Amino acid sequence: MPGFVKSALVLHQADYNSNIRELHKHADDIVAERRRNPDPTANDLLNTMINDADPKTGEHLSDENIRFQMVTFLIAGHETTSGMFSFAMYYMLKNPRTFVKAREEADAAIKKANGNLLNINPADLKYIDAILKEALRLQPSAPAWAVAPRNEEGQFLPGGYHVAKDQAVFVFLPMLHRDPKVWGPDPEEFRPERFLDGTKIPPDAWKPFGNGQRGCIGRGFAVQEGVLAFALMVARFDIEMADPAYDLTIRQTLTIKPANFKIIARPRFGAHQSILEELIASANGSSEQTSATEAKVDAAKSASTGANGEKIYVLYGSNSGSCQGLAKELISEGDKRGFDMRLGELDSVAGGGVLPTDAPVIIVTASYEGQPTDNARMFVAALTENKDSDSLKGAKYMVMGAGHHDWEATFHKIPKFIDRRLAELGAERLVPLSLADAGEDIVGDFEAFKARVWKHFGSTGEEAVPEDGDQPFVLLPRSANMAAPALGCGIETAGTVVSQEVLTHATSDSPQTNMVTIQLPKGQVYRAGDYLAIFPKNPQSTVDRALQHFGCHNEDTVSFNRPTSFFPRKVPMRIGDLLSSFVELGQPVSKKVLPLLSEYSDNEAKAHLKTLEGNYTRDVIAPRLSLLDIVLTTPGCKPPLEVFLANLPKMRIRQYSISSTSLESPEVVTLIFTVHTAPSVTGDRVLGVASNYLAFLQQGDDLLCTVKGSAGFYLPADPSVPVVLFAAGSGISPFVGFIAERALMAEGGRKVGRTVLYYGTRTPAEIVRKDRFAQWVKDGVLEMRPTLSRSDAKEIEALPGVTFLPEAKYVQDRVWEDRDDMAELYNAGAQYYTCGSGRRLGNDLKQTLVKILAEKTPEFNNQSAESIMERLARERYRTDVFM
């Protein structure tokens, strides 16, 4: 045996022995503590092992024996139950209808127990019990056990097989549990209904807990513990697969469990829910107490209740927070109009595809490359699977959809599907589908939708005069300054900047590119392909211009006496904080605001505003003309501060693709980003809010951020699968993480398929991380094929061995030049990934790939471009296209 192998085994054994010693010491300490401080009232297993004696011999267990029993209970109980949970979670998420049923059952059981978690009756959780049993049928944590004949002559088995005395025969449970004679024609299907009342399972057909006297002694406890714990999980969290495309693979240790199976669990009732606190409250309170769960459901559903008002549900699907913000705006406005408004996520309230029928439902949702948002996936899946054309009779709805016109092939796909499908299933459409374009005037589109909503419900929009008097807005003296309310748009965790690096400096033709390294908030981890969502602040120079124009000081304090869409009522705050963090100062002004500004303008300014309104796309959207730009450059337009603030959009979170791999450091991420600036009509520079915020952060600075999963934009689970990466500009960011991960896998001895990178920039100077790319190319883990749209360079010194084709100016041009290799990669099972601008990369590249496949791949002969593109997108092609 080679010396290094012996050394590795010795080190491994030493580590193993150290772990065993630590486990034994911990057990011994527990026993010693109980012996020093006996607790006769403790009705636990430890007391039983210490105090009870053998009824025949009178002997007690030794401390060593107790230690071994404790270790056995710990490992056997943990490994098997955790494996059961993991498999059950996998199968449930793969079959969303079962999640919906489990949640409904858990909610009902908790309600029946009056919110006292200690009073939940496991008998009320029959479907969850069936889910766990069905998971154990398909994937028992301990997948085999042995039996042997004890009689001298042995045993003859059916088929004439003879087994001698004491000869072990292993029973492989996954095969036993798939016998079609017992389980029917679909034994591979996950169908918990097999275990519900009325279904009889033949003896010995289901044996996940072992057999005979050596069967699991903790079976009853495991089932009861598992049912209760699983019920709390589905009741408390919105759960989804981190990788929706994940297919089950098995990892074997002491038992078996899913390999690399990750989920995303979001608190269903807010970030601060605490099951521990409720258990304590339940233990101290009576069964007649108000249900804590119901109270939180009500809080999640209803922002407030109008006096005797008509009930309206507003359900949203949102990833970045935009549609959630629009939904909350509807809630706020409806409350002021006297309606009983109820807010919720689509999956939380209608994950089974069933809308409430006791009140109208307003749905606000978006598409992401033709896919539903993270919190609308179950809802859309349920609508897709539903075949009953009368199942939604009695429901009334209206849909507001958001999207961006640069995703031409999938523009508004999900909102349109929801609107059409609800009608097909019998629901009544109250108003025609409304659609908003984030590439145009999304605020104006939403304002038009709100007008249709309130017109339908017959609301005049008149508000009662607040008790405070007629003034909706008060500018308070500086001495009234109080702590600003918490800001964060749903992000409440802070990361810390580790370093900031300028990768490329700005020139007359190219923007600056930076890389920031961030320590994640405590407890957060990530995978290559995830996003980091941040809550930015407006550039201080922009804030200062607004303060100067309105004659305010950064420390002045404002308070809103009337409810607004998002400003808190009667909460004094520094106006500097408000302008910095609450509102978007750089967003294009909404078209619906322009007529309002005319009320505060002279004739010349009114004419100018009319021109802007008539040429809105050219004169406002294209130059990104903001409300602040207008008031600064139009002397005759003088809206008061309260009008200015009321017509600014709320600050929203931004998502950046992570450019690192967790294999290097699971708690530290890097972001590669372009620092956006542009000429302004005011003579200053238009500064991109988030990119400039990130660029000015320094080592040690904190920022509000959180990891968010992507919609399936992850590397294949099998690293031997070839990948082809297409990037433009800062779209290189996630691919740096992808390549780093595959390089580390190759370094560790894994078989890694070809990694081909097409990287489009304008000049060689814009190529970032040249040192890392050069090393990966040298190591043979990367094939790099860059394109330069404004350079004829054939090679550059920093990237030896990398060839440029001057005639191929864009990624799609180079791909066409490599069409034979592209066809070869496709036939080898390659997966394709695109990250960059939808306008300049996504559509043209897809068309090029379709053309190559049509010409070079026999299986696509005589197929239309649309069918090829649809199949490519469904099976091989992943996009992360930004605007």
Binding residues: 216
Residue 633, classed as helix, strand or coil, is helix
In a domain, 407, yes or no: yes
In a domain, 571, yes or no: no
Which of these three, 456, 490, 505, is where a domain ends?
A: 456
The CATH number of the domain holding residue 396 is 3.40.50.360
- Alpha-carbon distance of 620 to 94, in angstroms, equals 46
Query: Confidence class of residue 393 from pLDDT cuts 50, 70 and 90?
Result: very high
Q: Which two tokens stand for residue 287?
A: 């069964």
133 lies in the same domain as 261: yes
How many domains does the chain divide into?
Answer: 3
Instruction: Report whether pLDDT(586) > 70.
Output: yes
- Alpha-carbon distance of 318 to 325, in angstroms, equals 9
Beta bridge mates, 650: 583
In a domain, 163, yes or no: no
For residue 376, what is the DSSP state?
A: G
Which of these three, 298, 316, 333, is where a domain ends?
A: 298
pLDDT digits (tens, 9 = 90+) for 717-763: 889 999 999 999 889 999 999 999 999 999 988 899 999 999 999 99
827 lies in the same domain as 877: yes
Instruction: Tell me the mean pLDDT in the region 106-113.
Output: 88
Instruction: Report whether pLDDT(642) > 70.
Output: yes
- Alpha-carbon distance of 63 to 744, in angstroms, equals 47
798 lies in the same domain as 730: yes
288 lies in the same domain as 312: no
Please tell me the chain's helix, strand, coil percentages from 3-state DSSP, rounded to the nearest 5.
40, 20, 40
Instruction: Report whether pLDDT(371) > 90.
Output: no
In a domain, 18, yes or no: no
Q: Which two tokens stand for residue 434?
A: 């409304």
Residues 586, 587, 588: CA angle, nearest 5 degrees: 120
In a domain, 843, yes or no: yes
For residue 485, what is the DSSP state?
A: P
In the numeric block, the tokens 């033949």 are attached to 202
- Alpha-carbon distance of 76 to 81, in angstroms, equals 8
Instruction: Tell me the mean pLDDT in the region 162-187.
Output: 90
pLDDT digits (tens, 9 = 90+) for 194-208: 998 767 888 889 998
Helix 413-424 with 377-385: angle, nearest 10 deg: 40
Instruction: Tell me the mean pLDDT in the region 168-186.
Output: 90
The reported pLDDT for the residue numbered 836 is 79
From the centroid of its chain, how far is CA 186? 32
In a domain, 445, yes or no: yes
Per residue in 145-162, is it b (16+ CB within 10 Å) or e — as a string? beeebeeeeebeeeeeee
Instruction: Report whether pLDDT(270) > 70.
Output: no
The CATH number of the domain holding residue 71 is 1.10.630.10
- Alpha-carbon distance of 30 to 67, in angstroms, equals 9
320 lies in the same domain as 292: no
Q: What phi and psi values does residue 830 have, to the nearest 5 degrees?
A: -60, 150
274 lies in the same domain as 382: no
- Alpha-carbon distance of 194 to 131, in angstroms, equals 9
Q: Which two tokens stand for residue 447?
A: 């304002």
In a domain, 37, yes or no: no
Q: What is the mean pLDDT of the chain?
A: 83
DSSP secondary structure string, 538-560?
A: --HHHHHHHHHHTT--TT-EEEE
Binding residues for heme: 216
Judged by phi (left if over 0) then psi (alpha if -120 to 50, else beta), residue 738 lies in alpha
Instruction: Tell me the mean pLDDT in the region 48-61.
Output: 82
Instruction: Report whether pLDDT(597) > 80.
Output: yes
The reported pLDDT for the residue numbered 626 is 94
Report which of residues 291 and 187 the model is more confident about.
187
The reported pLDDT for the residue numbered 40 is 75
Instruction: Report whether pLDDT(427) > 70.
Output: yes
Instruction: Report whether pLDDT(692) > 70.
Output: yes
Query: Confidence class of residue 473 from pLDDT cuts 50, 70 and 90?
Result: low
Report which of residues 613 and 464 the model is more confident about.
613
450 lies in the same domain as 379: yes
From the centroid of its chain, how far is CA 689? 23
321 lies in the same domain as 442: yes
Sign of CA dihedral 775, 778, 783, 784: positive
- Alpha-carbon distance of 50 to 43, in angstroms, equals 12
821 lies in the same domain as 868: yes
- Alpha-carbon distance of 31 to 717, in angstroms, equals 45
The CATH number of the domain holding residue 816 is 3.40.50.80
228 lies in the same domain as 343: no
Of 324-328, 758-762, 840-844, which has the strongest mean pLDDT? 758-762
Instruction: Report whether pLDDT(620) > 80.
Output: yes
Instruction: Report whether pLDDT(416) > 60.
Output: yes
The reported pLDDT for the residue numbered 564 is 59
pLDDT digits (tens, 9 = 90+) for 209-237: 888 766 676 777 777 888 999 999 998 88
The reported pLDDT for the residue numbered 486 is 37
Which of these three, 394, 425, 456, is where a domain ends?
A: 456
105 lies in the same domain as 187: yes
356 lies in the same domain as 219: no
Structural domain boundaries, residue 791: 723-882
In a domain, 876, yes or no: yes
Instruction: Report whether pLDDT(293) > 60.
Output: no
